[in-house]
Structures are given as C-alpha cells and as structure tokens.
Amino acid sequence: MGVPLPMETLKERASLLRESLSKSQTITDSTVAILGSFDHRLSVLEAAMRPTQVRTHAIRRAHENIGKTLKSAEVILGQFDLTRQAESKILKGPHEDLESYLEAIEQLRANVRFFNSNKSFKSSDGVLNHANNLLIKAMLKLEEEFKQLLASYSKPVEPDHLFDCLPNALRPSGEDGGKSPSSTNQSDNQTKSSEAAVYKPATLIPPRILPLLHDLAQQMVQAGKQQQCLKIYSETRASALELSLQKLGVENLSKDDVQKMQWEVLEAKIGNWIHFMRIAVKLLFAAERKICDQIFEGIDNVRKDQCFAEVTTNSVLMLLSFGEAIAKSKRSPEKLFVLLDMFEIMCELQPEIEAIFEGRACAEMREASVSLTRRLAQTAQQTFGDFEEAVEKDATKTSVQDGTVHPLTSYVINYVKFLLDYQSTLKQLFQEFETGGDSNSHLAVVTMRIMQGLQSNLDGKSKQYRDPALTHLFLMNNIHYMVRSVRRSEAKDLLGDDWVQRHRRIVQQNANQYKRVAWAKILQSLSAQGLTSSGGGSAVGGDGSNSSGVSRAAVKERFKSFNIQFEELHIRQSQWTVPDPELRESLRLAVAEVLLPAYRSFIKRFGPLVESGKNPQKYIRYSPEDLDRMLAPCAQVNITFSSVYRCRILYRFSVEFVGPEGRVGKFTTIDQVRWRLPNFGTIKVDFDVSQHANYPQAGAGFVTRNHNGQIILASSEHASGTSVAGAELKATQFGLYTIINKLPKYLAKETLLAQSLNFKSL
C-alpha cells in the first residue's frame, strides 16, 4: 500500500483543476455564441433560396414528363407500324407463308391488348376497331386454310399401303384379290406367332404437315373458334377413315342383309371381316389416335378424346355391327368355327381397343367391343351345345349300304379335331361363363359327351340294317374310325388311354360278332353232323379212314349248300366295305382261320366220296386256295360323302381341270377361311369327265400334296388303264368348313348336288 500524499500537494492539484474547469466553461460559452450566429445566418439564406428551389423542381418534373410522353408516342407509333405490317401479311393470306401469317395474327392480338389497356388515347378506339376487324378476317382465312390443308392431306389410305404395314405372315397373296391374308394358307402356329409380329405405323398425314395443323388449330382455339376447329377436324378425318375402310372392302351391312346371304358368301365375308378388324384396330384407329393427339397436343380447352371419338364412332360401330349380326344370326354347327375365329380376334384386339379408345368420350366403343366379345362367346357356346345335341339326335335317314364309315362319323370326328385346334380359344370361352373349375377338364368332359352322343347315334343307325352281320360290321368300322382318329390326334390327351382301350375292345367285340353271325351258318355246312348213310355208297378218306357211314348224296348236298351259301355271302359281302387296311386284313385272317381249316378238313374227309362219282367239279367248285383268294379284298374301298352332309364335311378346295387344250375351268369355292388339312396321306379321287367333249371317258388318279401344300393329281387313268395325256386336276386347299359344293358336274361320280368326291384312306 502506497504512502499518502502530503496535504499541500493535494491542495495545489485541486486549485489547478478548478482553473481548468473555469477555462473550459468560458470556451463553451464562446462556442455557443458563435453557433447561434451561424444558425441565424443559415435561416436567412434558406429563406432567400426557397423560390429558386421551387422553380428548379418544376423544371425537373416537366423534363421527366416530356421524356415519358416521347416514349409513349414512340410506342404508339410502333404499334401503328406493327398493325400496318400485320395487315399487309394478313391481306396476302396464309397460303404463301403460313409462319409469317401466324406471326401477324399474334401481333394483331398484341396490338388489341395494347389499345384495350390504353383507351385514354384519342385514337385508340379507331385503331382498336380496325385491329379487331382485321383479326376477324385473319381468323376466317385461317379457318379456311386449316380446312383446306387438312382436307388436302386427308385422302383415304390405299389398301396396298395398309398391307405393306402388316407383318409378312399376314400380307395378302396375289391370288385372292388383296383381301385375304396370306396367313390363311399357313399353319395355326404361324398364325399365333403373327400376333406378336411388328406392325409398321400407318401414315395417314405426312409428318411435316402435322406441326402446321397443330399451329392452325392452336390459333383457332385461341380465337374462340374451338367448336369450328373440332367440327372441321372430326368431319374431315371421319370421312377419310370411312373411305379407307370402304376401299379395303368393308361393307355397311345391316342385320337383314346378313340374314339374306348364302352361307358360302357370308363365310367369305366373315374371313375378310377378321382381317379388316386387325387392320382397322392395329393400323387405322391407332394412327388416328396418334395424329389426333399430335395436332391438339398442348392446346388448352380441347377435349382430344371427344374429338377422336367423333372421328371413329361410325367406323367402329360399322365394323362391330357386322359381328353383332353374325352373333345374332341363326345358329348352325358349321358356324362354330367362324364364331371362334371372331371371338379369337376380338380377344386378341381387346387390350389395344382399351388403350386406343381410352377416356370417357370413347366409353361407347369400348363397351360395344366388350359386348360383341361376350355375345360371340355366348353364341359359340350355344352353337357348341347345339352340335352336341345334333350329334346325339341326328335323325338323317341316310345309310351307308356297304357298312363303311358313316358321313356323320367322319363329320363329327373331323369337327372335334378342328375344335381341338382352338383349345386356347375354347378355354377362354368356357372361362367367360364358368366360375371355378379347370377349363381343360371342362373341354375333356364336352369332348367325351360328343363322342358318347356319336356312339349312341351310331347304335341307332346300325339297327337300320336287316343283316345282323352288316350291323356289326358297321359298328366295327365306325368305332374303329373313332378310335384311330382319337389316337392320332390331341383328343387322346383329353379322352385318355382308358377311353381308347375300352373302345378298342368294343371294336373287337363287333368284329367277333360279325364273324360269328356272318360265317356261323356256312361253317355248319362243313360239319360232319347229320351226314348219315342212306344207301348211296361209301368212301375211304384220303387218310385211309373209312367213311362208309356217310351218304354220298348227303355230302353232295352239303357241298352244294356250302357253294350256294359262300357265293351268296361273297357277292353280298363284296359290296361291304372295311376302309381301314389293317382292320380289313385282320378281319380276313380271322375269317380265314376258322373257314379254311374247316373247309380243308371237310374236303379231306368227304372229298373222295364226291370225286369218285360223276361231275365232282359241280360240287367241289373251290379249292382252299381259291377260297383264300376270294376272301382277299377285291374292290377299291371308298368313303363317299353324300349330299345330306353338304356344308358339314370339313373340306373345301379351289379346283381347276387342265388338259392338253388348256384350262377347262376353275372353280373357287371361297376366298379364305381356315387353312389346315388333316394329314390323311394319299387321297383317292374318282372323277367322271364324260360330260365334257374333250374328255369322253371316266378316269381316276391319286392326289397328293406338294411342298407348297397344294393337292395335285399325280397320275390318272382311263377305265381301260391308259393314261390321260396331259390331264391334271389341281385342288388347292383354301379352307375346311364345307366340302366342295361348286365342282362341275363332269367331275361327279355320285350325288353331292350332282357332284361328289370319293376319298380313300381317310
């Protein structure tokens, strides 16, 4: 702690501090006096400067107003100048330079907006009216340009262009006039794979024109002409679309028109309709949707879906109405295949229809498509049921006199085979109406019912024969045909091995019954029973055994009875037919196994008794070898389809007969339907050209298929065996649903509308 200062020092310092404070106060008072003097002087100066400041501010404001006025004048003059420039372009019209024309319209709109917001100008009303009138004229010309430009590039699409957009497998061949797809001559697998093939986009309007149409439409909508724009577009494009379909071959047929058509004509139109539906949906409608979206893209207040609906409604309903008419027409078994084809194409196209016709405005088209698909499914299922019932209750009086395969049998079996080609379609069909369960098992059950119905009907038809042996032969032939056909087709997977084995036993049972009924009586005549002595002499058998107890007269009577019975049986059964070579041979061997040993034994035992008398050849007419030869088939085996089953037998061909002098004639039954032909191998065709002057004799030849799938007569012979020089029968397969119904009469041998084909090895 420091030492405190002395008192004297403190007093001195306090005195100095008082003096300093006194001086500071004096200086402060002096400063205040000086500042007060300055304030007075400034107040005087400000009062003197105030008038000058007022004048300066007024001058500055006047200068600013002059600048603004000059700028406004420049803007107004610029608007006048732009209006004159726009007027010049608009008077020229849009045709020469559409881009400049659209720019002029946009400039006019800007001028109108400017003068609307600057109505204080004295001349604004006049200029505004002029600009508005000019804008109205411009929009009228623009509307006309939109209409003309759209019409100029909305020509109907040529069919060839549409065909070029199709996958190769679906393009039409040159032989059918361009309306039938070449795929109708392909296999079903190729058809299925074509569903995933690439379709080239169809060009309805050149791509360079679409931006121009878009700009024109946008200007019209901005001018408040939305309704006019959409009306012009929908009417123009709808007309072009309908003309495109007409050029393609689409007809606007009413239900009455369809009902009046012959089935052959209608069948061809259905095939074309399937082709047209694929082209319309995948090419035309899809392209229409695309250009509609492009032209109205980004334009406010435009309902593109509504516009597209107005373009396509008539065309869509025209196509679907034909399908509806078919679905509502009278049902018949031969229509099932075309109904399945139609159902198949509708199912195939349904996803694309849903995508193309999206939106509330297109709901009618989507619903119409779904409705048609369901109606086709319903009609097909009902037709399927009708077929089942018709098979079981078929009451035709037609009988096959030779006991061969009945036309109903071949018809039903072929029908079932072709149905199995539609397995995936049938599964979809069953799923439309069935809840739960396996569609495969449902198809198997239906197939089983059809086969049971056929067998039941055949049992009834077999009772028409008076000869019990022919009854069993008929059943044997027909059930064997059923078994063989099932074993060689996909039906075996559905019906199963148990069905095959069970019916093979039925075939064998009927074969045994035929052998027993037909040959039992003749075998009795070869029995030793009843041959007792009546004083007519005795004989020693060839083996040295004594036949002294046998009457020669009785033996002669037995040989005579055998000859009569065998000859009658041979004549009668030579008119009977066993079309299957293996079955025929097995049946011959079965008969030979019982007949020949009995005949040899009878001759060996009793022949010497007759040979020792007069005219032994009168009684022993045949050696065992003769009988063996006579048991062999001696006639060509044919299956003839009669006129009763016209439009039911599942074949159809385009036929032309070509001779040395050239083509005699070409007879095409249909344009296109389904294209599969069962692999029956060689087909025997008998034909009679006696009614044609150039070919006076009947002939026959074997028809085979070449690598192109054509049915060609490889060789032909007259009845005398000589060759028909240069004659060739070509039957090019086009489809299945009906047997040939337009063959010329000179190709007829039996009666099928005075025409017929006989097939071998079916």
- Residues 386-402: what's their mean pLDDT? 82
Higher-confidence residue of 100 and 347: namely 347
Residues 355-368 pLDDT 10s: 999 999 999 999 99
Instruction: State the average pLDDT over residues 726-754.
Output: 31
Kindly report which listed range (232-236, 428-432, 563-567, 680-684) carries the lowest average pLDDT score.
680-684
Band the pLDDT of 310: cuts 50, 70, 90.
Answer: very high
Q: What is the pLDDT of residues 734-747, one digit of tens each?
A: 322 223 333 333 33
Tell me the DSSP string of 63-89. HHHHHHHHHHHHHHHHHHHHHHHHHHH
**What is the model's pLDDT at position 426?**
87
Are 336 and 385 in contact by the 8 Å Cβ rule? The answer is no
Only one residue has tokens 């079932």, namely 416
Phi and psi angles of residue 723, each rounded to the nearest 5 degrees, phi first: -80, 145
Residue 651 has pLDDT above 50, yes or no: no
CA–CA separation, 244 vs 56, rounded Å?
Answer: 82
40-49, 122-131, 394-403, 550-559: range with lowest mean pLDDT: 122-131
User: pLDDT band at residue 395, thresholds of 50, 70 and 90?
Assistant: confident
> What token pair was written down for 410?
């071949």
Residue 75 — very low, low, confident or very high, per pLDDT cuts 50/70/90?
low
Whole-angstrom distance, CA of residue 352 vs CA of residue 345: 11
Q: What mean pLDDT comes out for the span 414-436?
A: 81
Question: For residue 733, what are the β-bridge partners?
Answer: 653
Residue 543: what pLDDT?
A: 42
pLDDT, residue 208, reads 93
Q: What is the pLDDT of residue 451?
A: 92
Maximum mean pLDDT: which of 242-246, 629-633, 692-696:
242-246
Residue 88 pLDDT: 61
Does the pLDDT value for residue 59 go beyond 80?
A: no
**204 pLDDT above the threshold of 50:** yes
**Ranges 53-67, 401-415, 646-660, most confident:** 401-415
Please say whether the dihedral angle defined by the alpha carbons of residues 119, 125, 130 and 132, taken in this order, is positive or negative: positive
- Position 647 scores a pLDDT of 28
Tokens of 417: 């085979």
Confidence category of residue 83, pLDDT binned at 50, 70, 90: low
Give the count of beta carbons closer than 10 Å to the beta carbon of residue 587.
Answer: 19
In the chain, what percentage of residues exceed pLDDT 70? 66
Beta bridge partners of residue 580, listed in sequence order:
none
Confirm whether pTM is higher than 0.85: no
pLDDT at res. 138: 75
pLDDT tens sequence across 688-716: 333 333 333 333 333 333 344 444 433 33
Residue 216, H or E segment: helix 210-222
Question: Above pLDDT 90, what percent of the chain?
Answer: 32
Q: What is the pLDDT of residue 733?
A: 31
Give the mean model confidence (pLDDT) for residues 581-600: 92
> Looking at residue 717, what DSSP letter applies?
E
- What b/e sequence results for 130-140 when a residue is b if at least 16 CB atoms lie within 10 Å of its CB, and e otherwise? bbeebbeebbe
- Residues with Cβ < 8 Å from 420, sequence gap 6 or more? 447, 489, 490, 491, 494
Section 635-649 average pLDDT: 31
Least confident of 66-80, 144-158, 246-260: 66-80
CA 731 from centroid of its chain's CA atoms: 25
* 141 in Cβ contact with 93 (< 8 Å): yes
pLDDT for the residue 199: 85
**Helix 468-487 crosses helix 491-524 at what angle (to 10 degrees)?**
150
Q: What is the average pLDDT value for the chain, to the nearest integer?
A: 74
14-41 residues labelled b (16+ CB within 10 A) or e (exposed): eeeeeeeeeeeeeeeeeeeeeeeeeeee
Q: Which tokens sit at 201?
A: 């986009």
Mean pLDDT across 422-450 = 78
More confident residue, 712 or 329: 329
Distance between CA atoms of residues 572 and 570, nearest Å: 5
Q: How many helices (H) and strands (E) does the chain have?
A: 22, 8
